Amino acid sequence: MRKVYVVGVGFTKIGRFFDKGLRELFAEASLKALEDIGNEKVEALVVGNMMSSSLSEQDNLGAVLADYAGLGGIPAFKVEAACGSGGVAVYTGISLIASGLFDIVMVGGVEKETEYPTRIVSKGLAQASDAEYEMFYGISFTGLNALVMRMYMEKYGISRDEMSIWPVLMHKNASKNPYAQLPFEVTIEQVKNSMVIADPIRLLDSSPIGDGAAAIVLASEKFARKLSDTPVEVAGVGMATDHIYIAYREDLLKLKATIEASKKAYSMAKVVPSQIDIVEEHDAFTVLGFINLEDLGFSERGKTPKEILQGRFHPGDKPTVNPSGGLKARGHPVGATGVYQVAEVTMQLRGDYPGIKVQGEIGLAQSIGGLGTTVTVIILKR
């Protein structure tokens, strides 16, 4: 298998853009990524997106975006894996180069959510769960996560104040991030007193609905040094799935797909969790922020909230977690999020990240589709 490198990145600010659609958002991100590699021609395009069919009535998205961004004629297609679509798109792009089929591939992620009522977007997001056995009976995606959060709090004796430390840290990190959707700090009191969404999940436990696009350019070893002075190696990748119907799960407080995907990525990269310097993980809700760190091997079960209260995982610690502010405060334009994460870790490793800077040589990005149903873990090395 050939080595693969990230050689270019580009992304938009995340927010509510009523003057921009899927085409405009993607074009902005892709042109920045192309500029990052001296406008070299890419050979293929892979796009991560979840809801272009249900919200934008647009299928054949790869060809649409390639045409609008001036990439017409190249192979282009959309990858969908619910809110983990971006991570799976990156995984697919890596595979295209590692296989020898292409030498330079762009991977983009884009989502347009904010022009629709919350109830419509919520229904679209709920399609990440089991449509026949869960969504059909009226439970929202937030409701499923609320079940997990309640179980986590009760099993490990975690108080509401201790749970609230996650959004406090994420918002503090995002306050330094110029492209974050929610770049402001919050307090524990504000989190626990914010509006109930699905008890015990509050508004400030939840990632926001937003629009955004990100793009990276991947290259084979033959082209990496020609396109970048600071190429970042894709050292390890892993992907796994689990039961979509959560009633079939053995343990709701362990995301089996994360555990399996991370094992594969660590093994390929020949590293262990203690060697990771930077983590961008998929914290769509507060409880996932904690569980992910435990599944990835960075913390003991049920101890993560107390460790964060003591300063663990903050900027300057190893690993520093979500210096971007994570999905919680950087924002979560679902199909694009996994691409943002890989772009952010890449910029950290090459030293040009625009927000909180983390010193290190190894980074990890974890992307989740559904409630841990599809997970990708990607490890990058400087």
- For residue 58 the two structure tokens come to 């647009």
DSSP tag of 157: T
Burial level of 18, CB count in 10 A (0-12/13-18/19+)? exposed
Tell me whether residue 282 is one of the annotated catalytic residues: no
Exposed (0-12), middle (13-18) or buried (19+): which is 351, by Cβ within 10 Å? exposed
Q: Which of the residues 243, 282, 314, 332 is marked catalytic?
A: 332
Burial of 92 (0-12, 13-18, 19+ CB in 10 A): buried
Angle at 46 between CA 41 and CA 50, to 5 degrees: 145
What does the DSSP assignment read for 196-243?
A: EEETTEEGGGBPPP-BEEEEEEEEEHHHHHHH-SS-EEEEEEEEEE--
Determine whether 314 is an active site residue.
Answer: no
- CA separation for the pair 282, 365 (Å, rounded): 8
Longest dimension (CA), the chain: 57
Q: Do 338 and 88 contact (CB within 8 A), yes or no?
A: yes
365 close to 377: Cβ distance less than 8 angstroms: yes
Give every CB contact of residue 221 below 8 A, 6+ residues apart in sequence. Answer: 2, 3, 5
CB contact set of 181 (below 8 Å; sequence gap of 6+): 13, 14, 15, 174, 208, 210, 212, 329, 330, 331
DSSP reduced 3-state for 362: strand
Q: Which residue in 83, 171, 282, 314 is the catalytic one?
A: 83
Q: In whole angstroms, how far apart are CA 321 and each of 96, 171, 248, 278, 363?
A: 29, 12, 30, 6, 10
Active site residues: 83, 332
